Structure 1
């Protein structure tokens, strides 16, 4: 059985991640096995959503982290990789200059992708293979700087959109006023044309919700469970949430 390794680097608003996967090919079947996942909470969005720039301190931290990722990819003998930067780097006024300097230092080529590309990458993540083609699903990926929604129907992605509405923007009250309106209008349009939609959520905080809830084993969260947990979290400060729930 032939084995090769691919890597993906996600430069997000809250954290950066390196994912390494073993690709195993046996006759007509291809298997994807996770080899390693490293997360570094740099929080570029704290700078960008408040100052519109990435500070020299965070640039230095990012460069060191990506240099470490480069070394790990070398050790793992990676065949190919892709590095993508999302919302914070898109919005940073000095984003393109930082990417040039980091590429010179680390050799890592970075693609700054659009919100729509983010949503399409979610679709390309083989998610359609895991869904019931007879059902309708709304996939919601909540990041630190943006939220992507994708409607799956009959096993295909029928609609996708991205909104500048993420956990860091919400925490710091930096969500553009029109984004809530855009999101609401999109959801109303989807619901007017489709009924009995199941929602699939992804993202660090959503995954944490599941782990902390009573629905951990079945990996499903009812609206009542979600609302109860939301009401429990709402009065807490950011520091209290981190101490009590590691969020």
Structure 2
């Protein structure tokens, strides 16, 4: 007997808003399969408002409302049975974040949960990393966002440490990450990785996914520190406009890709990792899995 249901996850980040629709495939005697059906990404960049002015602007409030209305219609068209919308650091820190969430609930009929960094890290950890990692190894999992980056140490298949830092691509672009925050991150990584002889990175986020795609590497193969470092140097020799016209990057990717690469390289340097694996999973995938296993609440479209 085969059963296919559709679940949706909405990830409201500091750089972009995403809607992931997944097929949940259940077959008697076989493990449940989670198959991505559709992914829509809208680069609203809430963090550019919030990290500088502490508020979501009227223009971005309207764009959010339009986007959530469109997402609801898409979910209805796909016959989604359950969804969950999670907002991270930008809406968390916005003085009017709760007000905007209430407006969206009333007018677009999408309920938004504003989650903290620790809950975000826990949901991301719910992604089925076991199918991507070697459980005899140690990894530092790094999920780079616009407002924050989540770090987890995974040893022998078990998460042993986890922490969220207010270092993200949009914050770095606006030069609002101080030296002390970098030093705190460096100390945390060194302290929690020094006992392991060998450690690899797992990189998550749109920027590392893009770099991996550009590299032409086969899925499951890592990028080396040397490759990432060389690409970082190359990016900086091009202007923002040239990154769009000559490197074929989207305009909302062409600026944040540099600070994102800096975060991954710093994490590799401080942990001693030589390789970074890119399984192309993130918060949206974690939301879908968490909904299915009922470790988080979900909403229906009725």
Distance in 1, Cα, partners of 2:115 & 2:88: 6
Aligned with 2:19: secondary structure? strand
Contact 2:132/2:220 (8 A) holds in 1: no
Q: Distance in 1 between matches of 2:219 and 2:194?
A: 33
The equivalent residue for 1:94 is: 96
Deviation at 1:122, TM superposition (A): 1.3
* Residue 168 (structure 1) aligned to one of 167, 170, 177: 170
Determine the structure 2 residue equivalent to 1:14: 15
Question: Matched residues in 1 for 2:131 and 2:38: separation?
Answer: 23
The Cα RMSD (Å) is 1.5
* 1:4 match: 5
1:72 aligns with one of 57, 74, 81: 74
**Structure-2 separation of matches of 1:217 and 1:202:** 14
Which residue in the other structure is 2:86 paired with? 84
Give 1 or 2: higher strand fraction: 1
Counterpart-to-counterpart distance in 1, 2:54 and 2:246: 31
Hey, which bits of structure 1, 4+ residues long, moved more than 4 A? Answer: 216-219
Residue 226 of structure 1 aligns to a residue in which SS?
A: helix
Aligned residues: 247
Q: TM-score by structure 2 length?
A: 0.78
The 1-side partners of 2:86 and 2:181 are apart by 23
Distance 1:215 1:195, change over 3 A: same
Contact 1:210-1:216 within 8 A present in 2 as well: no
CA deviation after TM superposition for structure 1 residue 178, in Å: 2.8
- Cα deviation digits, residues 43-68 of structure 1 (max 9, x gap): 11111111111100000001000000
* Alpha-carbon distance in 1 for matches of 2:177, 2:142: 17
1:115-154 → structure 2 map (5 Å cutoff)? 115-154=117-156
- Gap change, CA 1:236 and 1:51, over 3 Å in 2: farther
3-state DSSP class of the match of 2:147? coil
Compute the displacement of 1:218 (Å). Answer: 6.0
**SS of alignment partner, residue 207 of structure 2:** helix
**Mapped partners of 1:24, 1:198: distance in 2:** 32
User: Hey, what's the Cα distance between the residues in 2 that align with 1:51 and 1:173?
Assistant: 14
Where structure 1 has 5 or more consecutive residues not aligned to the other structure, the ranges are: none
Report deviation, 1:137. 0.8
Give the CA deviation at 1:209: 1.4
Q: Confirm or deny: 8 A CA contact 1:210 1:219 kept in the other structure.
A: no
Q: Is the 8 A contact 2:149 2:166 kept in 1?
A: yes
Distance 1:17 1:135, change over 3 A: same
**2:262 aligned partner:** none
CA apart distance, 1:234: 2.2
Q: TM-score, normalised by structure 1?
A: 0.95
The CA distance in 2 between the partners of 1:137 and 1:162, in whole Å, is 16
Gaps of 5+ in 2: 255-302
SS at match of 2:80: coil
Q: Cα offset for 1:176?
A: 3.9
Give, in whole Å, the separation in 2 of the partners of 1:88 and 1:237.
Answer: 27
Distance 1:129 1:220, change over 3 A: closer
- Cα deviation digits, residues 157-196 of structure 1 (max 9, x gap): 1111111111111111111443212210111112222220
